[in-house]
Amino acid sequence: MPRKRSYHHGNLRAALIETGLELIAEQGVRALTLRELGKRARVSRMAAYRHFRDRAELLGAIQNAGFEQFADALERACLAAGDDFTARMQALSLAYVRFAREHPAYFEVMLAPPGSRIRDKMSLGRASPVSAPSRFCTRRFAMGSTPVTFAPGVLSCSRARLAIVHGVATLELERLFAAEMSADVFIQDCSGLLLTGLRPAAPSLEPPK
Amino acid sequence: MPRKRSYHHGNLRAALIETGLELIAEQGVRALTLRELGKRARVSRMAAYRHFRDRAELLGAIQNAGFEQFADALERACLAAGDDFTARMQALSLAYVRFAREHPAYFEVMLAPPGSRIRDKMSLGRASPVSAPSRFCTRRFAMGSTPVTFAPGVLSCSRARLAIVHGVATLELERLFAAEMSADVFIQDCSGLLLTGLRPAAPSLEPPK
DNA sequence: ACCTGAACACCGTTCAAGT
DNA sequence: ACCTGAACACCGTTCAAGT
């Protein structure tokens, strides 16, 4: 009987994350309700408590899943772009913005409401994903691929690149670019100026190979 | 009897906005509850409905108030900076980041959860504040002060500057800069590279005076 | 006009109980 | 182990009623 329902032998957790993501995509985080979630997943409204301590931990799990996919997407983009610095930065930036556009539900949970305590609550989950992302991204934008030991100039350039791309991604989600220019075009047009220009003045540009 | 309570002759609306902001600052938007709001404002839990159709409209009003103060802060920064382009851009950027840092509750409501429908609901309020901010900011960052008629190159430079500063502000709220470097220092260090460099290639740099 | 309480349909979460 | 229903303390919102 492994096929009666699809949620009975260990995959309920994954199904809840996926279904939760659907709810968020359709109506925002506020609509992610444990009761509605159970209804959609064809399960009692208490079933989720077998897999998550409470609603916040479920959101933390969704956040985790989002960061994993995000990391994969950036990694793939870097690998595909080859060794050229500019090409890599551009690929990384495009992947960043596209992930935000194609997975707005994930991005919404990943960012979390800046002022709320949800982030703190989320970090109580065991995988402690919360502080990881910014460090993760800073590293990526230092060279575009594997983590590096930071030289001083590299650090602020990395942050500058991250800030630019993050700003573009979030502003696009707020439809700033929708009207006359896509974020993709924007990144392509401006990357020469924005990203290539952002090399540290110091000599140690490249990470030790 | 104009001094019994402070909320009885027309200022309940303002008091609710202020109290709501306190709640958001303390525990996030999710804690902004009409019942709790009433309790804090020493008023029945239904009192708010005299001033706002529902919770969403209250949030819209808070958002509006936030944008007004934001606009004032940017305007003041521009006026104080004088006519030099670089000085103006730097002042504008610092004011932007500082507003986010000093009013995280406002900023949280102003940004709204990207994927949710709250933004749309908010825009139902009569002042229609929602689409204004990005246009407002794009204009500011075109020259740093009064709205301009956009030349093509001006538009994308304006967006680039806005993206940079917005990215810095939101990343700081997520504590990326907290560890080793404040956003202020970051902006000062990088503004020469980031902002001054972003002049359009075309000749029409300055708006018609 | 401005405020109130009771009532309704929703929440998250706890608990005792079923397979 | 995994799932369930009843119950509790919360929500937003409507309505009839008070000053």
In chain B, % of residues over pLDDT 70: 56
- Whether A116 sits inside 8 A of B108 (CB atoms) is yes
* CA atoms lying within 13 Å on the CB side of residue B27: 9
Nearest-by-Cβ selection for A28 from B108, B113, B163: B113
- Whether A114 sits inside 8 A of B174 (CB atoms) is yes
Tens-place pLDDT, residues A7-62:
555 688 999 999 999 999 998 888 899 999 999 998 988 999 989 999 988 998 89
Report how far residue B70's alpha carbon sits from residue B107's, in angstroms, rounded to the nearest whole number. 9
Which residues in chain A are closer than 8 Å to B136, comparing Cβ atoms? none
Which residues in chain B are closer than 8 Å to A174, comparing Cβ atoms? 111, 114, 119, 134
Q: What is the pLDDT of residue A11?
A: 84
- Whether A162 sits inside 8 A of B177 (CB atoms) is no
Q: Which of residues 53-72 of B touch strand D (CB under 7 A)?
A: 54-56
pTM to 2 decimals? 0.79
Q: What is the pLDDT of residue A139?
A: 59
CA distance A3 to chain B (A): 34
DSSP secondary structure code for residue A50 in this structure: G
Tens-place pLDDT, residues B123-146:
333 233 333 445 555 555 654 443
- Structure tokens of B64? 């509006």
- Structure tokens of A150? 């930071």
DSSP secondary structure code for residue A49 in this structure: G
Residue with CA nearest C11 C1'? A33
